[in-house]
Amino acid sequence: MPPKFRPLFFTILLLATAATISVHSLSNALSLEHLSLFREAPAFRNGRECPQVTWSSIVNGQSHEDPSSIIHIAMTLDSTYLRGSVAGVLSVLQHAACPENFVFHFIATHRRAELRRTITMTFPYLNFHLYHFDADLVKGKISSSIRRALDQPLNYARFYLADLLPTSVRRIIYFDSDLIVVDDVAKLWNINLGAHVLGAPEYCHANFTNYFNSRFWSNPASAASFRGRKPCYFNTGVMVIDLLKWRDGKYTQKLEYWMRIQKKYRIYDLGSLPPFLLVFAGNVEGVEHRWNQHGLGGDNLHGLCRALHPGPASLLHWSGKGKPWLRIDSKRPCPLDLLWAPYDLYRHSLLFSDS
What is the per-residue pLDDT across 52-107, written as a single tens digit (0 to 9) for each?
876 665 565 545 556 778 999 999 999 999 999 999 999 999 999 999 999 999 99
The predicted model scores a pTM of 0.86
3-state secondary structure of 120: helix
Predicted pLDDT of residue 175: 98
Instruction: pLDDT band for 355, please (50, 70, 90 cuts).
Output: very low
Tell me if 323 is assigned to some domain.
no
- Residue of higher predicted confidence among 250 and 33: 250
Predicted pLDDT of residue 1: 54
Q: What is the C-alpha to C-alpha distance for residues 45 and 20, in angstroms, rounded to an integer?
A: 45
Tell me if 11 is assigned to some domain.
no
Q: What is the C-alpha to C-alpha distance for residues 222 and 208, in angstroms, rounded to an integer?
A: 14
Domain count for the chain:
1
Residues 6 or more apart in contact with residue 143 via CB below 8 angstroms: 151, 259, 262, 263, 266
Q: Where are the alpha helices (DSSP H) in 79-149?
A: 82-94, 112-122, 136-139
Contact 281, 229 (CB under 8 A): yes
Tell me if 300 is assigned to some domain.
no
Instruction: pLDDT band for 19, please (50, 70, 90 cuts).
Output: very low
Residue 7 has pLDDT above 80, yes or no: no
Residue 136 has pLDDT above 80, yes or no: yes
Tell me if 331 is assigned to some domain.
no
Predicted pLDDT of residue 142: 78
Predicted pLDDT of residue 276: 97
Contact 346, 38 (CB under 8 A): yes
**Averaged over 153-179, what is the pLDDT?**
96
Residue 267 has pLDDT above 90, yes or no: yes
Report the relative pairing of strands 171-175 and 71-76 from DSSP bridges. parallel
Q: Average pLDDT of the chain?
A: 86
Question: Domain of 212?
Answer: 66-293
Residues 6 or more apart in contact with residue 209 via CB below 8 angstroms: 217
Out of 15-24, 152-161, 195-204, pick the least confident.
15-24
Residue 40 has pLDDT above 70, yes or no: yes
Residue 10 has pLDDT above 60, yes or no: no
Dump pLDDT digits (tens) for 271-299.
899 999 999 999 999 999 999 999 999 98
Query: Amino acid letter at 318?
Result: W
Residue 269 has pLDDT above 80, yes or no: yes
| DSSP code for 44 | P
Tell me if 55 is assigned to some domain.
no
Dump pLDDT digits (tens) for 167-208.
999 999 999 999 999 999 999 999 999 999 999 999 999 999
Contact 83, 328 (CB under 8 A): no
Q: What is the CATH number of the domain that holds 235?
A: 3.90.550.10
SS3 content of the chain, % helix, strand, coil (to 5): 45, 15, 45
φ, ψ of residue 102 to 5 degrees: the values are -100, 140
Residue 245 has pLDDT above 70, yes or no: yes
Q: What is the C-alpha to C-alpha distance for residues 142 and 151, in angstroms, rounded to an integer?
A: 7
* 180 strand-pairing partners: 316
Burial of 60 from C-beta contacts in 10 A (0-12 / 13-18 / 19+): exposed
Tell me if 316 is assigned to some domain.
no
Tell me if 153 is assigned to some domain.
yes
Contact 212, 267 (CB under 8 A): yes
3-state secondary structure of 72: strand
Q: Which of 62, 331, 292 is nearest to 183 (CA)?
A: 292
Predicted pLDDT of residue 60: 58
Tell me if 174 is assigned to some domain.
yes
3-state secondary structure of 74: strand
Q: Which of 246, 230, 157, 232 is nearest to 198 (CA)?
A: 246
Percent of the chain scored above 70 by pLDDT?
Answer: 82
